[in-house]
Amino acid sequence: MTTDDLITQAKQVLRCNDAGDFTPPSSTQYPHQWNWDSAFVALGLSHFDLPRAQAEVRSLLRAQWRDGMVPHIIYHERASDYFPPPDFWQTQNLPHTGAVASSGLTQPPVLTSVIRTMHERLVSAHGSQWLNFLREVFPRLLAWHRWLHTARDADGTGLPCIIHPWESGMDNSPLWATALDRITPTDLPPFKRRDTIYVSPDERPLMPDYERFVYLIDQGRRLRWEPRALLERMPFLIQDVMFCSFLFRADADLRALALALGEETREMDDWLARTRRVFDARFWDNARGIYLDYDARTRTPIPVSTCAAFMPLFAGLASETQAARLVAEHLNNPAEYAPGTDSKYRLPSVSKREPDYSPRRYWCGPVWINMNWQIADGLRRYGFDALAQEFDADSLALMQQSGFREYYDPRDGTGCGAPQFSWSAALTIEMLAA
Ligand code: DGY
């Protein structure tokens, strides 16, 4: 298949999944709007349909809560068999929530970085039309960043905490195993899983994890999704390296957008300086030469190696020495992440050495196209261009071989999860057309 054929097919996926002014990640498995998915989709769309890319961003931000949060699932009055349905969350009619039905959680903040990339590429050709759009969305982005740095700040560091594994985007990552093991999911509201109807149960979270996901939603609704109460009471409270890295990069990108609009940047400067001050002390494990997540409930590091550990490269938070160690000791180590006898494609989302590594089970090991794309971006930042190229080549080879799947088995490239997956298609366009 030629590059042009792949781009054509990727555009077809986005067109097929298009629901008007938003694009579900998959029309069967995830039939509503998801926060970070829509950001990646907007980036892909911006190459061939800028008005539609802008509509994608607007529909996401329309669901912003009054307190600034941008939710992780937005339902937009679309009927579906998805669980949880909109009313399960009990987010409506609270003083701080939004007018559009949504979940009570947020998701990794990649939207601002996507808009900055679009800005660099589009401002000269689209001038005032683009700047008007930027002026419209800027205050909403700022409000979301402010919310992340305050409403989710449990310890005065400004590093946001996540209160549910779904907020990380890496729902059933082994990163959460110990924190979830502490939870006994009693008095669960009645529910029926729907996620194993379209995708094989072998590729989805195990039932004990899923019960805890539902239990945590129930805790959130009992606390009426009130940020202070969530920080004090949610049994799951984690500072995730990937989430915090994305926010740092997004803060820097927001600053660049502020400068383009002639806006004040002091607040962003403060966030950036504060994160730089605390990041290494909180996350860097010098003995292992890797970043580790932090359990803010038990105040202990989480000694599990996953793709999250490489996102400080995407953020520009790693020093040259740290970057070199991440590459030499982990990314290029065949016992952990590099291709070798037991895997062929970059990048297993969990180190092959981890006891919970499972190459087909969702976030326990499969290759994800967005992770590959973000790590490759980070590697280029640190001069590892040839390695970055290997990441892009593997992503494209996987999609050529198995289609635009949600994730892939790193051993043989078998496509897993949902087919016709929107962000895999969108990032193909970004990789090939940029
Ligand atoms: C799901 O339903 O598995 C989603 O990932 C939740 O965000």
pTM of the model: 0.98
**Residue-wise pLDDT tens digits, 204-216:** 999 999 999 999 9
Task: State which ligand 1 atom lies nearest to the alpha carbon of 105.
Answer: 7
Q: In this model, does residue 434 exceed pLDDT 80?
A: no
CA-CA-CA-CA torsion for 393, 398, 404, 405, nearest 10 degrees? -130
Ligand 1 centroid to residue 198 C-alpha, Å: 13
Ligand 1 centroid to residue 166 C-alpha, Å: 7
Question: Are residues 411 and 344 in contact, defined by beta-carbon separation less than 8 angstroms?
Answer: yes
Ligand 1 centroid to residue 213 C-alpha, Å: 10
**Residue-wise pLDDT tens digits, 342-382:** 999 999 999 999 999 999 999 999 999 999 999 999 999 99
Bridge partners for 285 per DSSP: 290
**Residue-wise pLDDT tens digits, 209-239:** 999 999 999 999 999 999 999 999 999 999 9
**Ligand 1: which residues within 6 Å by Cβ?**
72, 166, 171, 195
pLDDT confidence band for 162 (50 / 70 / 90): very high
By most ligand atoms within 8 Å of CB, the mutation choice from 195, 363, 422 for ligand 1 is: 195
**Residue-wise pLDDT tens digits, 60-93:** 999 999 999 999 999 998 899 999 999 999 999 9
By most ligand atoms within 8 Å of CB, the mutation choice from 72, 163, 171 for ligand 1 is: 171
By annotation, the residues acting in catalysis are 171, 406
Task: State which ligand 1 atom lies nearest to the alpha carbon of 103.
Answer: 7
Task: State which ligand 1 atom lies nearest to the alpha carbon of 205.
Answer: 3
Task: State which ligand 1 atom lies nearest to the alpha carbon of 73.
Answer: 7
Predicted confidence at residue 42, as pLDDT, reads 98
Rounded Cα distance between 372 and 349, Å, is 9
By most ligand atoms within 8 Å of CB, the mutation choice from 26, 28, 30 for ligand 1 is: 30
The total number of residues written for the chain in this structure: 434
Type of residue numbered 15: R
Ligand 1 centroid to residue 165 C-alpha, Å: 10
- Angular region, 210: left φ>0, alpha ψ -120 to 50, beta rest: alpha
Rounded Cα distance between 188 and 338, Å, is 41
**Mean pLDDT, the chain, as a whole number?**
97
Q: Which two tokens stand for residue 198?
A: 């379209």
Task: State which ligand 1 atom lies nearest to the alpha carbon of 171.
Answer: 5
For residues 111-124, give the mean pLDDT. Answer: 97
Ligand 1 centroid to residue 272 C-alpha, Å: 30
**Residue-wise pLDDT tens digits, 298-352:** 999 999 999 999 999 999 999 999 999 999 999 999 999 999 989 999 999 999 9
Question: Are residues 290 and 329 in contact, defined by beta-carbon separation less than 8 angstroms?
Answer: yes
Q: In this model, does residue 1 exceed pLDDT 90?
A: no
Ligand 1 centroid to residue 170 C-alpha, Å: 9
Predicted confidence at residue 349, as pLDDT, reads 98
Task: State which ligand 1 atom lies nearest to the alpha carbon of 213.
Answer: 6
Predicted confidence at residue 306, as pLDDT, reads 98
Q: What's the burial of 127, exposed, middle or buried (CB within 10 Å: 0-12/13-18/19+)? A: exposed
Ligand 1 centroid to residue 172 C-alpha, Å: 10
